[in-house]
Amino acid sequence: MLKFDLLATDPDSHARRGTLTLNHGVVQTPIFMPVGTYGTVKGVMPRSLEDMGAQIILGNTFHLWMRPGLDVMQSFGGLHQFEKWNKPILTDSGGFQVWSLGAMRKISEEGVKFASPVNGDKLFLTPEISMQIQTVLNSDIVMQFDECTPYETKGHLTTEREARTSMELSLRWAQRCKTEFARLENPNALFGIVQGGMFENLRDESLAALVEMDFPGYAVGGVSVGEPKDEMLRIMAHTPHRLPAHKPRYLMGVGTPEDLVEGVAQGVDMFDCVMPTRNARNGTIFTRHGDLKLRNARHKSDPQPLDATCTCYACAGQSGVSWADGGRDGFSRAYLHHLDRCGEMLGPMLTTVHNLHYYLNLMREVRESLDAGQFSAFRARFKTERARGV
């Protein structure tokens, strides 16, 4: 099932506030969805995810198909029970990962042939098989199997003709997904994905054809695939707000905190990105006043937390009182710098909690500003604060 209720719209932008009801619960939108590739958001316990207000997480169909495999997933009745996450889950289609195999895969009308990166087995992924796997996973939101049109291939920019061929293939696959999803009597919700590369006319065609097929929700794919930032912003300004207003809109694989706030202004309801978790492991920290490089020697004996305004466990400890409000229970930059330098697991554990909390809290602030009819003011203040520097 999927039910989307629009609660408020911003008069000065395309921003919207809504609730998305799925089989495993209700999601407040706009929302950021942490990525849990192999059935785990890297470095985070499920209870920590709940503590920091995660409402829906991702799983990767391709990875879970490889390991632990469908037999194990079937025996657990799906991904929720396997990874002990009882709230909604969205799974991708496997298309993007198969695409990323590069020379190791061969695409035809029927689907994609490839060699398993785990054991070399020859495998075949089709729209039907993707639907079958996602049905076993029992994810609340199932993504159609598509071809993710690249921005460039070995220095060759994708031409309009190539982007059209790719987009049209994805449309035929969308229909096959829809048919198979219905045949499987999957009780969850299937999203169509708008493609068309960097060509707005192709995006319009893709969108129109998908709307004709009447999916319960739509994604914008083929962004955040290596294109320059202004190209990404151009597509983000073009496509989302043209999607049906009464259905949820998901911008795949985006992005920085600035991208998220801009995406909301352009009418996006849902985001996912590995950036908060991956950057945490590499020592890049998101804060209200800009990004912080934890490996910089200037943090060696700094007693401050990562973000003085933050109430996450890393910044505010058990009490949850921020440094700015007088709390002194959080972990210092000096300590986190030390843990990183010593290669201690606790380092990425704490920075991951912080970065995810930052993203989830940012979206909470976005929602609150929409509820209060103050999104424009929020957006301006957000930009100023982030530009201040940490």
Interface ranges with a copy of itself (CB under 8 A): 38-40, 42-45, 47, 67-68, 71-72, 75-76, 82-84, 300-301, 303, 313, 317-318, 329-332, 334-335, 337-339, 341-342, 344-346, 348-350
Distance linking the first and last C-alpha atoms of the chain: 44
DSSP, residue by residue, 213-255: HT-SEEEE-S-SSS--HHHHHHHHHHSGGGS-TTS-EEETT--
- Least distance to a copy of itself from the beta carbon of 44, Å? 7
Task: Check: CB of residue 235 under 8 Å from CB of residue 197.
Answer: no
- Least distance to a copy of itself from the beta carbon of 327, Å? 12
In the residue annotation, 302 being an active-site residue is answered as no
82 in a known ligand binding site = no
Q: What angle is formed at CA 183 by the lines to CA 122 and CA 217, rounded to 5 degrees? A: 90
195 in a known ligand binding site = yes
Nearer to a copy of itself, 295 or 381 (CB): 295
Task: Check: CB of residue 292 under 8 Å from CB of residue 336.
Answer: no
- Least distance to a copy of itself from the beta carbon of 10, Å? 37
Residues 366 and 257: their CA atoms lie apart, in Å, by 11
Nearer to a copy of itself, 103 or 345 (CB): 345
Q: How many CB atoms are located within 10 Å of the residue 50 CB?
A: 13
Nearer to a copy of itself, 244 or 317 (CB): 317
Cβ contacts of residue 107 below 8 Å, gap of 6+?
147
Residues 211 and 216: their CA atoms lie apart, in Å, by 9
Could you tell me the CA-to-CA distances from 236 to 228, 230, 251, 267, 372 in Å, in that order?
Answer: 13, 10, 8, 9, 25
Instruction: Kindly name the residue from 259, 269, 272, 307 that is annotated as catalytic.
Output: 272
In the residue annotation, 307 being an active-site residue is answered as no
Nearer to a copy of itself, 172 or 293 (CB): 293
Nearer to a copy of itself, 53 or 68 (CB): 68
Sheet holding 57-59, edge to edge: 31-33, 270-272, 249-251, 217-220, 189-194, 141-143, 89-91, 57-59
273 in a known ligand binding site = no
- Least distance to a copy of itself from the beta carbon of 50, Å? 8
- Least distance to a copy of itself from the beta carbon of 71, Å? 7
148 in a known ligand binding site = no
**φ/ψ (deg, to 5) at 91:** -115, 140
Nearer to a copy of itself, 47 or 161 (CB): 47
Instruction: Kindly name the residue from 92, 140, 269, 340 that is annotated as catalytic.
Output: 92
- Least distance to a copy of itself from the beta carbon of 232, Å? 30
* Strand 284-287 relative to strand 189-194, pairing: unpaired
Q: Count the alpha carbons within 13 Å of 355 in the hemisphere toward its beta carbon.
A: 33
144 in a known ligand binding site = no
Measuring CA to CA, which residue among 255, 130, 266 is closest to residue 190?
A: 130
24 in a known ligand binding site = no
48 in a known ligand binding site = no
DSSP, residue by residue, 128-145: HHHHHHHHHHT-SEEEPP
312 in a known ligand binding site = yes
Residue list, annotated binding site: 92-96, 146, 195, 222, 310, 312, 315, 354
Residue list, annotated binding site for Zn(2+): 310, 312, 315, 354
Residue list, annotated binding site for substrate: 92-96, 146, 195, 222
The residues carrying an active-site annotation are 92, 272
